[in-house]
């Protein structure tokens, strides 16, 4: 797999399900395997998505600073790839990560656990019907 224009492979499909059900650490592990061997836009896609998964893991564990740093870093990496990569709606993920970061900033570290669940990003695959339930 060399291009964002291709469809998702089995490992990415697994990572999408893990991400969307809130298994962000497992998603990180799955994406890391893909990221290690990737180059160019695919490397940025895998690493950016991985960082957003880890940001969510940090948020759940009360690590405000880690969550904010990785939300920004992941979004910065994803801004290097096309709007849709391997069938995943990258534009939506960047937008959702930004909304999450903004809300965390508004809540602050002391109230970060009050984050509304509807602000937690989901990985959406264009035309694939892969939006897993939580």
In a domain, 24, yes or no: yes
Q: Tens of pLDDT along 63-80?
A: 999 999 999 999 999 999
In a domain, 131, yes or no: no
What is the per-residue pLDDT for 1? 55
In a domain, 50, yes or no: yes
Q: By three-state DSSP, how is residue 90 classified?
A: helix
Q: Tens of pLDDT along 101-125?
A: 999 999 999 999 999 999 999 999 8
In a domain, 4, yes or no: no
Query: Looking at the 3D structure of the chain, how many domains does it have?
Result: 1
- Rounded to the nearest integer, the mean pLDDT of the chain is 91
Would you state the structure tokens that stand for residue 119, as one six-digit string?
């602000």
What is the per-residue pLDDT for 133? 42
State the CATH number of the domain containing residue 79.
1.10.3450.10
Position 127 pLDDT exceeds 70? no
Q: Judge contact between 42 and 88, C-beta under 8 A.
A: no
In a domain, 48, yes or no: yes
Q: Tens of pLDDT along 28-55?
A: 999 999 999 899 999 999 999 999 999 9
Its domain, for residue 35, covers 10-119
| 134/90: higher pLDDT | 90
In a domain, 55, yes or no: yes
Position 92 pLDDT exceeds 80? yes
Q: Judge contact between 104 and 112, C-beta under 8 A.
A: yes
Residue 116 — φ and ψ, nearest 5°? -70, 135
Would you state the structure tokens that stand for residue 9, as one six-digit string?
């492979």
In a domain, 53, yes or no: yes
Q: Judge contact between 77 and 47, C-beta under 8 A.
A: yes
């Amino acid at each position: 797999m060399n291009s964002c224009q291709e469809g998702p492979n089995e490992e990415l499909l697994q990572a999408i399900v893990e991400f969307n059900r809130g298994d962000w650490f497992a998603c990180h592990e799955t994406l890391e395997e893909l990221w290690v061997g990737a180059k160019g836009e695919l490397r940025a896609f895998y690493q950016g998505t991985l960082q957003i998964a880890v940001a969510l893991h940090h948020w759940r564990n009360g690590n405000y600073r880690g969550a904010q740093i990785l939300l920004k870093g992941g979004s910065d990496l994803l801004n290097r790839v096309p709007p849709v990569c391997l069938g995943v709606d990258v534009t939506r993920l960047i937008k959702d990560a930004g909304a999450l970061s903004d809300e965390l900033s508004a809540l602050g570290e002391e109230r970060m656990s009050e984050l509304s669940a509807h602000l937690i990003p989901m990985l959406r695959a264009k035309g694939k019907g892969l939006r897993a339930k939580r």
